[in-house]
Amino acid sequence: MSTCEAPIDHYLRLLGERLRGPARRKRDLLTEARDSLHDATEAYRECGLDPIAAQHRAVAEFGTPDQLAPAYQAELTAGQGRRLALLVSLVPAAMLTADLMWWQPPATAPSAPSGFLLMVQALDWASYAVGAMALVTLYLLGPASRRWDLAPRTVVRPLAVAALVVGGLIWVLGAFAGVNATVESPAALTWPPMIAAWIMLNTTFGVLTWMTVRIIAATGSRLVSA
Backbone angles phi, psi at 201, to 5 degrees: -60, -50
Q: What is the pLDDT of residues 49-102, one digit of tens each?
A: 898 999 999 999 998 999 999 999 999 999 899 999 998 988 887 777 666 555
Half-sphere exposure of 26 (CA within 13 A, CB side): 17
Between the two ends of the chain, the Cα-to-Cα distance in Å is 27
The amino acid occupying position 139 is Y
Mention every residue, 6+ apart, whose C-beta is less than 8 A from residue 221: 20, 73
Instruction: In whole angstroms, give the CA distance from residue 21 to residue 74.
Output: 10
| pLDDT for the residue 226 | 41
| pLDDT for the residue 221 | 58
Residue 170, Cβ neighbours under 10 Å: how many?
24
Q: Which of 161, 162, 142 is nearest to 152 (CA)?
A: 142
The predicted model scores a pTM of 0.72
| pLDDT for the residue 72 | 92
Return per-residue pLDDT of the chain as tens, 226 residues.
555 678 999 999 999 999 988 888 899 999 999 999 999 999 999 988 898 999 999 999 998 999 999 999 999 999 899 999 998 988 887 777 666 555 554 444 455 556 666 777 787 888 889 999 999 999 998 877 777 777 888 999 999 999 999 888 877 777 776 676 677 667 666 767 667 777 777 788 888 899 999 899 888 754 444 4
Instruction: In whole angstroms, give the CA distance from residue 71 to residue 74.
Output: 5
Is residue 131 within 8 A of residue 86, CB to CB? The reply is no
| pLDDT for the residue 106 | 46
